[in-house]
Structure 1
Amino acid sequence: MSQINWKQPALFVLLLAFTVVNLLPIIWAAMISVKNPVDAFMTTLSFNFEPTFEYHLKVWRDSEFLRSFFNSIAVSVSTVLISVSCGTMAAYQLTRMPPGRSRVILLSILGMRMFPHILLALPFFVIAQLFNLIDTYFLLVLAFVAINQPFTIWFMRSFFADVPREIYEAAAIDGCNAWQTFYRVALPIVRPGLWVTSLFSLLLAYNEFLFARVLTGAKTKTLPVAISSFGTEDVSYWPLAAAAAIGITLPIILFMVLLQRHLVRGIAMGAVKG
């Protein structure tokens, strides 16, 4: 009689429990967003309530929320385009450098990323005031690129490091110069990694609160800052804030669903050597 292998079922149960724990706050927020205030403030869990989409409609009809939504999209997409483009070229060059020199640069970049954001936000604010850049898209994109750049460089370097050097040597033999080797040979190979890096860079920019709170005003306020303004004494605060939180997550969920195939390939590429 063969011995039963319990490893896979146990792993499945653990992953399922982990997923449920992580999804529970989202499910709870989704439930509150369709409840009336009297049901939302109940201390006991109850599924016996009449759902309403009044607060979802109220959030999206709010001109300030819509303005903040478009601000977040514009700033996040601009940040991704700049930080991923620059980070990809930097990461490629770092993989072609001698290990000793590249290690010093990578550790220096990582050290900058380890600084608390508040230490960087205050200098940004002072410099922006001197040049009259407060409440401008240029300043916000510049700040988001600065805090995202170390992440994109490290992430893309892991994908370029998996590309065999023999491919670069074959491209050189075929007559490709440095730019052609990067653009026509290396970049298509790591394209799935570009999608993964772009997603995480988008998440970092889209969810950034501290820099957005310090550097924005009424014109460039982003969604994380806008949703904090829903904290009032009104009893409708919880359903309204929950509806806003669900609204914030929808673009990211849609992006992940549309690019699921590329994301899975990119994660697998970064996890497997050779």
Structure 2
Amino acid sequence: MRSTLMKQVPLFLILLCFCIVNLTPVAWGFLTSIRQPVDAFAVPPKLIFTPTLEFHWQIWVDKGFWRFLINTAIVSVCAVTISVSIGSMAAYALSRLRSRLASGLLFSLLAMRMFPHILLAIPFFVIAQAAHLIDTYIAMILAVVALNQPFTIWLMRSFFAEVPGELYDSAVMDGCNAWQTFRRVALPIVKPGLWVTTLFSLLLAYNEFLLALVLTRTGTKTMPVAIAEYGAEDISYWSLSAAAAFGIMLPILVFMLFMQRHLVRGMAAGAVKG
């Protein structure tokens, strides 16, 4: 027993160091948001200071950043709903196909995901401008869906591929058609994987910057673009940026904590086969 614990100590220390390295910027950003710039950027850093919520108040009340958060939520929820719904059906079909056509489609989707965002942003802008959709939710949602669709299809296909084919055959023998087999057999089994795909798709849509910068204006501006307007060389704006960044992080953090059980099951779904 003691030897087992001793073997786990190095792993625990490594994980502890990894957590410290990853959480330090988050903690430092939060401290920056509750300190005056003269304290936040003092050399050496001041660890004893008088905290203030002035910058949080300025961001969310005076500057009305809650509007940008609502825009971000609308775009993210709509884009995730569309992309995960379409991606799940496409992934199910591709997982059932065993042909060169399916392999070619999957490779094409992967190639599209490899394109730099700036290469896709220009055509999106030209199409949206021609359709008079600049600064509308429709343009932003469709662009995010198009960008994230290959990711959702590939990820969901990996979960559908783990479902034994005998279950599908049994459903067909019981009289289920293709839609009923997908809805009543496949989806309930891959439900944990569906939550994982939803989370990662939400993160991609929630943090999208380049497309939002190109396709939105004042009416539909999202949080990443709004935050980018503060900072640069004027350090008095950095506390505002830190307050906004911490605020935009909270909804995703709450969602992850709420769905933690489903996410763990989804992450481990591919670990056991058969």
TM-score (norm 1): 0.95
Q: What does residue 149 of structure 1 align with?
A: 149
Which residue of structure 2 lines up, in the alignment, with residue 69 of structure 1?
Answer: 69
Post-superposition Cα deviations, 1:33-59, rounded to whole Å, max 9, x if no partner, equal 111121011122332111111111221
Where structure 2 has 5 or more consecutive residues not aligned to the other structure, the ranges are: none
1:26 aligns with 2:26: yes
Q: Distance in 2 between matches of 1:247 and 1:2?
A: 44
- After superposing the two structures, state which structure 1 stretch, 53-62 or 181-190, moved more: 53-62
1: CA distance between counterparts of 2:194 and 2:76? 16
Structure 1 distance, partners of 2:3, 2:53, is 53
Identity of aligned residues (%): 61
* Residue type at the aligned position of 2:144: F
In the other structure, the counterpart of 2:219 is: 219
State yes or no: 1:48 paired with 2:59. no
What is the RMSD computed on CA atoms of the aligned residues?
A: 1.7
Shift of 1:99: 4.3
Looking at structure 1, the residues matched to 228 and 129 of structure 2 have their Cα atoms a distance apart, in angstroms, of: 24
Shift of 1:94: 0.3
**Residue equivalent to 2:194:** 194
Q: 1:63 to 1:162 in 2, by over 3 A?
A: same
SS across alignment from 1:50: coil
Q: Which residue of 2 aligns with 1:137?
A: 137
Deviation at 1:127, TM superposition (A): 1.3
The one-letter amino acid of 2:129's match is Q
CA–CA separation in structure 2 for the residues paired with 1:107 and 1:8: 41
State the distance in 2 between where 1:62 and 1:166 align: 60
- Partner of residue 269, structure 1: 269
Structure 2 counterpart of 1:260? 260
- 1:23 & 1:82 partners in 2: Cα distance? 33
Aligned mates of 1:227, 1:65 — CA distance in 2 = 9
The answer on whether the counterparts of 1:106 and 1:154 sit within 8 Å (CA) in structure 2 is yes
Count of paired positions: 274
1:8 to partner: Cα distance: 2.4
Counterparts in 2 of 1:169 and 1:244: CA distance versus 1, 3 Å: same
Runs of 4+ in 1 over 3 A off after TM superposition: 1-7, 232-235
Paired residues of 1:83 and 1:149 also in contact (CA < 8 A): yes
* Deviation, structure 1 residue 4: 5.7
User: What is the CA deviation profile of residues 168-206 of structure 1, one whole-angstrom value per residue up to 9, with x for unaligned ones?
Assistant: 111111111111000001000111111110000000000
Tell whether the 8 Å contact from 1:40 to 1:238 is kept in structure 2 after alignment. Answer: no
Residue in 2 that maps onto 1:121: 121
* Matched residue type, 1:11: L
**Paired residue for 1:245?**
245
Partner of 1:181: 181
Q: In terms of mean alpha carbon deviation, does 127-136 or 145-154 score higher?
A: 127-136
Aligned to 2:91: 91
The answer (yes or no) to whether the contact 2:135–2:216 under 8 Å persists in 1 is yes
Distance 2:3 2:66 in 1: 59
Q: Which amino acid in structure 1 is aligned with residue 270 of structure 2?
A: G
Q: Is the 8 A contact 1:135 1:218 kept in 2?
A: yes
For 1:85-135, what per-residue CA distance to the aligned partner results, in whole angstroms no more than 9, with x for missing partners?
000000000011014332111111000000000000001111111111111
Write the letter of the residue equivalent to 1:269: A
Task: Give unpaired runs (5+ residues) of structure 1.
Answer: none
